[in-house]
């Protein structure tokens, strides 16, 4: 009852002082109540109060009566001089002094009170000066742990220092006389240099030995078992092609890659250099990438070298088609790759045809970016339902102006692909909702305008104003789309409609 009262007070008066007081004594009160209930055998199995039970007051009165009845019949508080005193919870047996203090504390208290009244309050004249000051303080011995005073602690520390000093002198005398020490007053038979206080041998931390060797021979330590490049290709093929074929019942799967510097040097190279500058590049030079090549320890550093990445893309493009020829022998799925070839097949799109590698000329292009190449494949594909996977935001904005050119094709852009988080954008529905947006109602081509706002608000080649991000640009454009995109004639002042 008191616990509930204090809890309610702490909730009603929500302050640091009340919470500190509650958290200080509440665990001890709860433990005491639980111990009493266990000893009295009235611990309730269901302590939750429900409205279907008896009224709250009757329940509490019944609990009190039950406490009193159990206290009247229990032997918990009855004096039994024949048996030894035992701690009710810890089951520790009391010593003679503890038993004497706890069994006779009332008599000691009465005697001490009589002395106090006689000696200090009444000051009886028949008592001598010595008898007046015979009253001394008496500390009762209980189960409470004895407090160690600062004086006793300092004394123990001083004694330990004295013992250590004596042992040092004994060892120094042994060195001086060239005679071994026969006894160092040890409490254990084994020397502490090779064993601990419990007598167990001192082993040290065994794992530190391997750590020393790891730091010395770093090249022999592997974070994973050696895997060849061929195993990686099979994993990528299963993860992105076989899974997509099964999950989406895909009849065509196109894999497109970037082809950096295909049309000469561009400002995009600055952005590529910036992205790879933050990572340490691989020191080892790989001339070729083949199926028997062991994977590097740091995959990110390997890909940061542009030449390594391009060679890997060349090899991956060919391997995906070879795996497709083996997997889809019944022509249930066609796999096409583009952007990953050099020399004779540069700019060509190759795929798994009739038991051989064929060229798909409709998808040939010299695009540098896969963001634009993927939309070329979507436009020329004969499939009516197309699903693109690209977590890159540029792919979405690049394809906005092409939605009207796709006719009756349905385009889905997948932004996320994980076990617990998948996200798709229905491009056709997005275009329809954007055309019904009242803020963009007056625009002739809202998709082109949105794309230009995306570019003008900051991209690889265009800087944006400091402190004004994409959200600010798009919010202001939607609020003032008609004014910003309207025609401007500086010759006729009456025709000025926008900026």
Which residues have a Cβ under 8 Å from the Cβ of 26 and sit 6 or more positions away? 3, 6, 7
427-435 helix and 446-456 helix, angle to the nearest 10 degrees: 100
Q: Are strands 410-417 and 357-359 parallel, antiparallel or unpaired?
A: unpaired
Evaluate whether 474 touches 451 at the Cβ level (below 8 Å): no
| pTM, two decimal places | 0.52
Identify any residues that bridge with 215 across adjacent strands, giving them in sequence order: none
Cα gap 438→479, rounded to integer Å: 10
φ, ψ of residue 86 in degrees (nearest 5): -130, 140
pLDDT tens per residue across span 103-153: 888 998 888 888 888 777 777 777 666 666 666 778 888 888 877 788 888
319: Cα separation from own chain's centroid: 38
DSSP character for 295? P
φ, ψ of residue 155 in degrees (nearest 5): -65, -40
The Cα angle at residue 294 between residues 280 and 219, in degrees rounded to 5:
60
Per-residue pLDDT of the chain (499 residues; tens, 9 = 90+): 455 666 666 666 666 776 677 677 777 778 888 887 877 776 655 555 555 556 777 887 888 888 888 777 776 666 666 678 888 888 888 888 888 888 888 998 888 888 888 777 777 777 666 666 666 778 888 888 877 788 888 898 998 888 888 888 888 888 888 888 777 666 666 666 777 767 677 666 666 666 666 676 666 565 554 555 566 667 778 877 888 877 888 889 999 999 988 888 777 777 777 666 655 556 677 788 887 777 777 777 888 888 888 888 998 898 888 888 888 888 888 899 999 999 889 999 999 877 788 899 999 999 999 999 999 999 999 999 998 988 888 888 898 888 888 888 988 888 877 767 778 888 888 888 888 888 888 888 888 888 888 888 887 777 777 777 888 888 888 888 888 877 644 445 454 444 3
DSSP character for 363? G
Cα gap 277→157, rounded to integer Å: 60
């Amino acid at each position: 009852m008191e616990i509930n009262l204090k809890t309610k007070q702490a909730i009603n008066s929500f302050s640091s002082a009340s919470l500190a007081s509650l958290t200080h004594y509440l665990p001890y009160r709860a433990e005491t109540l639980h111990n009493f209930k266990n000893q009295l055998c009235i611990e309730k199995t269901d302590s939750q109060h429900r409205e279907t039970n008896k009224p709250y007051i009757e329940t509490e009165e019944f609990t009190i009566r039950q406490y009193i009845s159990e206290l009247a019949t229990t032997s918990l508080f009855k004096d039994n001089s024949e048996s030894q005193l035992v701690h009710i919870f810890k089951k520790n047996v009391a010593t003679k002094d503890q038993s004497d203090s706890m069994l006779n504390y009332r008599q000691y208290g009465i005697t001490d009170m009589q002395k106090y009244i006689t000696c200090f309050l009444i000051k009886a004249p028949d008592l001598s000066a010595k008898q007046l000051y015979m009253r001394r303080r008496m500390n009762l011995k209980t189960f409470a742990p004895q407090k160690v005073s600062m004086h006793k602690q300092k004394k123990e520390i001083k004694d330990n220092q004295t013992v250590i000093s004596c042992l040092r002198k004994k060892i120094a005398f042994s060195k001086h006389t060239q005679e071994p020490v026969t006894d160092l007053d040890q409490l254990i038979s084994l020397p502490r240099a090779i064993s601990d206080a419990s007598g167990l041998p001192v082993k040290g931390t065994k794992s530190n030995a391997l750590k020393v060797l790891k730091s010395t021979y770093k090249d022999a330590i592997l974070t994973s078992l050696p895997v060849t490049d061929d195993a990686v290709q099979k994993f990528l093929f299963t993860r992105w092609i076989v899974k997509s074929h099964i999950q989406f019942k895909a009849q065509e799967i196109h894999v497109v890659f970037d082809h950096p510097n295909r049309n000469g040097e561009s400002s995009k190279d600055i952005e590529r250099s910036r992205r790879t500058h933050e990572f340490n590049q691989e020191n080892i030079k790989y001339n070729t990438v083949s199926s028997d090549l062991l994977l590097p320890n740091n995959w990110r550093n390997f890909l940061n070298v542009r030449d390594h990445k391009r060679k890997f893309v060349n090899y991956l493009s060919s391997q995906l088609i070879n795996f497709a020829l083996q997997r889809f022998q019944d022509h249930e799925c066609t796999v096409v790759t583009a952007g990953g070839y050099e020399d004779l097949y540069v700019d060509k799109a190759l795929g798994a045809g009739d038991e051989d590698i064929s060229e798909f000329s409709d998808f040939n292009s010299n695009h540098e970016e896969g963001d634009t190449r993927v939309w070329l494949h979507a436009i020329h594909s004969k499939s009516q339902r197309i699903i693109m996977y690209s977590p890159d935001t540029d792919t979405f904005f690049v394809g906005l102006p092409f939605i009207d050119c796709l006719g009756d094709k349905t385009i889905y852009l997948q932004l996320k692909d994980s076990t617990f988080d998948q996200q798709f954008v229905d491009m056709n529905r997005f275009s329809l909702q954007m055309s019904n947006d009242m803020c963009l109602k007056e625009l002739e081509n809202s998709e082109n305008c949105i794309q230009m706002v995306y570019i003008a608000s900051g991209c690889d080649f265009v800087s944006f104003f400091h402190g004004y991000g994409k959200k600010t640009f798009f919010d202001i454009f939607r609020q003032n789309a008609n004014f910003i995109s309207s025609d401007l004639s500086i010759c006729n002042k009456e025709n000025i409609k926008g900026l």
